[in-house]
Amino acid sequence: MKLNNEEDRVCDILDNANGSIMSVDIGSRLRHLRIAHKLSQRELAKRTGVPNSTISLIESNASNPSVGALKRILDGIPIGLAEFFAFEPERPKKAFYAAEELVEIGKGAISYKQVGETLFGRSLQILKECYQPGGDTGKIPLVHEGEEGGVVLSGRLEVTVDDERRILGPGDAYYFESRRPHRFRCVGPVPCEVISACTPPTF
């Protein structure tokens, strides 16, 4: 079967590296490839039928998937198992980024511009977010591992954490554990801009 053949090739790669699937930084590789293919976690989840929360846990290395489960996710990119494990992106060394060098990883009514093309080997993600009027992260709250915070630069942003809801304006900020259900929505007549950071990287 195709999966068995790929599993054999993966085992060969891991054996040659004197390692195992547990010793490979699966999360950083998966996040790097997903972003390189311009896919959000939610879009990849829809393609594969794997919950967004599961993909988030894997990317933060809080969960170790089986080879079969990982293949299911990789099929949505798409990339083969052997290619995935053989892939070794370079760790970023760049320290400064011009405005035009920020990488767009969002779509639709919410723009997410990431500092750095790749976050491989990094534990912090910094984003410049722009919500169009009515832009919303969705009725289903976001839940994932880690911590996040942000400062509103302009506009008005409604932030819901658990059952608490607050409308933030320029200069206001938020910070919370990401495992608490949360949602963001632009409630003003003009776009809302936010600078945010999360660890480990989420998107």
pLDDT at 3 over 70: no
Q: What is the predicted pLDDT for the residue at 15?
A: 46
Tokens of 81: 């198992």
Q: What is the predicted pLDDT for the residue at 138?
A: 92
The C-alpha atoms of residue 86 and residue 180 are separated, in whole angstroms, by 36
pLDDT at 161 over 60: yes
The C-alpha atoms of residue 120 and residue 117 are separated, in whole angstroms, by 9
pLDDT tens digit sequence for 21-47: 555 678 888 888 888 888 888 899 999
The C-alpha atoms of residue 92 and residue 7 are separated, in whole angstroms, by 30
**pTM of the complete model:** 0.66
Tokens of 176: 């919370």
Confidence grade of residue 172 (pLDDT, cut at 50, 70, 90): very high
Q: What is the predicted pLDDT for the residue at 4?
A: 53
Task: Please compute the mean of the pLDDT values over residues 155-162 and round it to a whole number.
Answer: 98
Nearest one of 23, 27, 20, 21 to 123, comparing CA atoms: 27
The C-alpha atoms of residue 27 and residue 63 are separated, in whole angstroms, by 9
Q: What is the predicted pLDDT for the residue at 56?
A: 86
From-to residues of CATH 1.10.260.40 in the chain: 2-86
Contact between residue 183 and residue 94 where contact means Cβ atoms under 8 Å apart: no
Q: What is the predicted pLDDT for the residue at 13?
A: 45
Residue 62: phi, psi to the nearest 5? -90, -10
From-to residues of CATH 2.60.120.10 in the chain: 99-199
By the 10 Å C-beta count (0-12 exposed, 13-18 middle, 19+ buried), 194 is classed as: buried
Name the CATH architecture for the domain at 2-86: Orthogonal Bundle (1.10)
Tokens of 65: 């998937």
Ramachandran area for residue 100 (φ above 0: left; ψ -120 to 50: alpha; else beta): alpha
Sign of CA dihedral 61, 90, 34, 26: negative
Q: Residue 165: beta bridge partners?
A: 160
Is CATH 2.60.120.10 the classification given to domain 99-199? yes
Nearest one of 203, 177, 10, 6 to 103, comparing CA atoms: 203
The C-alpha atoms of residue 28 and residue 30 are separated, in whole angstroms, by 6
* Percent of the chain predicted with pLDDT > 90: 48
Confidence grade of residue 148 (pLDDT, cut at 50, 70, 90): very high
Beta-carbon count within 10 A of 32 CB: 20
